[in-house]
Amino acid sequence: MLCTGFGVGFLPKAPGTWGSLLGVGLWWAVLSELEPAVSILVVGFAIGLAWLTIRQTCRTHNVGDEPAIVIDEIVGQWIALLWVPRSFWIVCVAFLVFRFLDIAKPWPVSWADRSVPGPFGILLDDVIAGVATCIVAHVVVRVFV
């Protein structure tokens, strides 16, 4: 259930986008109000849990990077939103940038997607996309807010 975002990954169209939206919703409801140090601890824990969950799911079901696995998008979106203000338009920008990077996979996201095998590779491209998005989001905040 964790790996599929409580079933969101089984939605018929664009499961990664739905997983990212779930990540935004969870961030808005819970993570956005946390102190910075606590939020980084939660995200660090989530990265570890995601890796363990993906690894177990891949082993149990003998699968690779299945579209139904969306915990990586959820965690990537949380990384993208680290320490940004709780602002609807900034969250929208972070969501759109993250989805673009996750779908288009420019370097270094593409490197992680192609070069790192297994569960860690499934997660790593979204972590990298999340970090890049976080940087963009903070630049947007500095320039426009």
Residue 16 belongs to some domain of the structure = no
Mean pLDDT of 1-17: 94
Residue 107 belongs to some domain of the structure = yes
How does pLDDT run across 115-131, given as a tens digit for each residue? 999 999 999 999 999 99
Give yes or no for a contact between 53 and 73, defined as CB atoms under 8 angstroms apart: no
Residue 52 belongs to some domain of the structure = yes
Residue 48 belongs to some domain of the structure = yes
Residue 55 belongs to some domain of the structure = yes
Residue range(s) defining the domain that contains residue 47? 34-144
Report the C-alpha gap between 19 and 5 in whole angstroms: 6
Give yes or no for a contact between 126 and 76, defined as CB atoms under 8 angstroms apart: yes
Q: At what angle do helices 88-104 and 15-29 cross, to 10 degrees?
A: 150
Give yes or no for a contact between 121 and 115, defined as CB atoms under 8 angstroms apart: yes
How does pLDDT run across 28-85, given as a tens digit for each residue? 999 999 999 999 999 999 999 999 999 999 999 988 889 999 999 999 999 999 999 9
> How many domains does one find in the chain?
1
Residue 66 belongs to some domain of the structure = yes
Please, which pLDDT band fits residue 134 given cuts at 50, 70 and 90? very high
